[in-house]
Structure 1
Amino acid sequence: MFIVGVTGGIATGKSAVCEIFKEYGIPVIDADVAARKVVEPGRKAWHLIKKEFGDAVFHKDGQLNREVLGEIIFDSVEKRKKLNEITHPEIYSEMFWAAVRCFFQGHQFIVMDLPLLFESGSMVDYLYKIIVVTCEEDLQLQRLIERNFMTEAKAKKRISAQMSLERKCEQAHFVVENSGTTQDTREQVLRILSILRSYRAHWKLRAIAGLCCTGLVSLLIWIGFRVLYSQHSTVSRRR
């Protein structure tokens, strides 16, 4: 099994692209979903955020107030970095175990929705291919304002906090231009899907995993026989 990363800018349409992969039976592991799980009340990241940012970033019921926390971190590079240090290890751990489950289910490849792939840099080396979803800058701004009900100034601040789309596209294996119609985007994704399905990298990984498992089982059997032989020899000497 190999891993394909989908990234892009905020409000460029990453989720729409991932939904198309889901329609065709490709598992999608979403970093945003994992991020919501790891900050649930009582989790390790929840406690660390509370310690670092205080009660002001939580609702009365203990749930994280994402809007308040978002205002804080997008106004401060240092605080944004601190939040990432708290949450990213937990998020990647959550995604890792989800990927392991997909591996044992026999999937050829999976897709990971990673909004901050290049900004964090942690997952790049684990991805076989990278897809960047982009769109025209004015359209990105309009989508963000309408989706998040925010002012133009706040939307621009959110966009500027991320790496530019141009730099992301330079590091991609595939680029999906999502400024056109839904059908245009779908056709681009299906072309990429066809290419990904033609790859055979997953067989190499499965062969390596199979050899490792075979070696481990053989070692355990050998140890078992050695223990039994030792016990049998001890009993024989006593007789």
Structure 2
Amino acid sequence: MSTTPWILGLTGGIGSGKSAVAEQFTTLGVHLVDADHAARWVVEPGRPALAKIAARFGEQVLQPDGQLNRSALRQLIFQDAEQRHWLESLLHPLIGQEIRDYLARAQSPYAILVSPLLIESGQNRMTQRVLAVDAPEALQLQRTMVRDESSEEQVRAILKVQSSREERLRHADDVLVNDRDHAWLRSEVERLHRFYLTLRGGQP
């Protein structure tokens, strides 16, 4: 009889190398869902959420092809806490359901929910264990500036919005400090994977 996979939450600040770690786990055959992807799926054309958003904010939040115009919507809600709250209360349950549905299809002994806002959004309540990818702040800044071609000020602003490192690490069962090369990272992920395969329900 197949046991239901337990869920590992994978999180980390911007530039910590969370995506590289997630990629390593998928090469080992672990079923993975990305909360950012789920957030995009729920507002695709033809989904009820998009119709509700358009009904509330008007055609200005749609692109000519019917897709959601994210930057237009972002500008509208950033200036207005009430509208932002309305949008979050519409989308968060839908995103949660999307994630649960996707995780339920997992065939691997455990499945991973990748979310930069795992702690802040409360999505860690869907998980039985949390792995935080960490990196020294100087390295986070450097990686993100190179990747996004953004200024140090922009990256620092994002770091400020994301939950503090202390908060993330406090919720983590496991911490992977990603400050070395790719080969080392791969061997660390393999070591964690072997350990996770021994767990039942995410606990030793």
Structure 2 vs 1, CA of residues 119 and 27 (structure 1 numbering), >3 Å: closer, same or farther? same
Instruction: Report the CA distance between 1:69 and its aligned residue.
Output: 4.1
Unaligned 5+ residue runs, structure 1? 203-239
2:40 maps to a residue whose letter is R
Match of residue 139 from structure 1: 139
**Structure 1 residue 117 and structure 2 residue 113: aligned?**
no
Change (3 A) 1:71 1:161: farther
In structure 1, give the amino acid aligned to 2:117. L
Superposition RMSD on alpha carbons, in Å? Answer: 2.4
Asked if the contact 2:6/2:200 (under 8 Å) is kept, the reply is: no
| Partner residue, 1:213 | none
Q: Bigger CA drift: 130-139 or 67-76? A: 67-76
CA distance in 1: counterparts of 2:110 and 2:191, whole angstroms: 16
- Which residue type is aligned with residue 2 of structure 1? W
- Once the two structures are TM-superposed, the CA of residue 53 in structure 1 deviates from its matched residue by 4.4
Q: Which residue of 2 aligns with 1:100?
A: 104
Secondary structure of 1:32's counterpart equals helix
- Whether the 8 Å CA contact 2:31–2:103 is kept in 1: the answer is no
Against the structure 1 CA distance between its residues 176 and 35, is the aligned structure 2 distance closer, same or farther, given a 3 Å change threshold? same
Distance change (3 Å), C-alpha of 1:166 and 1:59: same
Whether the aligned pair in 1 keeps the contact of 2:32 and 2:111 (CA below 8 Å) is yes
Q: Is the 8 A contact 1:177 1:185 kept in 2?
A: no
CA distance in structure 2 between the aligned counterparts of 1:26 and 1:144, rounded to whole angstroms: 26
TM-fit CA distance, 1:90: 1.2
Structure 2 CA distance for aligned equivalents of residues 170 and 132 of structure 1 = 10
Partner of 2:67: 63
Which position in structure 2 is the counterpart of 1:193?
A: 193
* Maintained 8 Å contact 2:31/2:112: yes
Which TM-score applies when normalising by structure 2? 0.83
Deviation at 1:82, TM superposition (A): 4.1
Deviation sequence 1:100-157 (CA, Å, 0-9, x none): 222xx4x311111122111111x32331210011112122223333333334333322
- Aligned partner of residue 144 in structure 1, secondary structure: helix
Matched, 1:31 2:32: no
Aligned to 1:153: 153
TM-superposed CA distance for 1:94, in Å, is 1.1
Q: Corresponding residue for 1:83?
A: 87
The reply to whether residue 167 of structure 1 matches residue 171 of structure 2 is no
Q: Which has the higher contact order (CA 8 A, sep 6+)?
A: 2
Distance 1:151 1:65, change over 3 A: farther
Kept in 2, the 8 Å contact 1:74–1:158? The answer is no
| 1:234 equivalent in structure 2 | none
Q: CA 1:135–1:83 in 2, change beyond 3 Å: closer, same or farther? A: farther
SS in 2 for 1:185: helix
Task: After superposing the two structures, state which structure 1 stretch, 126-135 or 70-79, moved more.
Answer: 70-79
Seq. identity, %: 37
CA distance in 2, matches of 1:136, 1:76: 34
- The count of aligned residue pairs is 198
Aligned counterparts of 1:180 and 1:44: Cα–Cα separation in 2:
44
Name the SS of the counterpart of 1:3 in structure 2. strand
Work out whether 1:43 is the aligned partner of 2:47.
Answer: yes
Separation in 1, partners of 2:47, 2:195? 40
Structure that is richer in helix per residue: 1
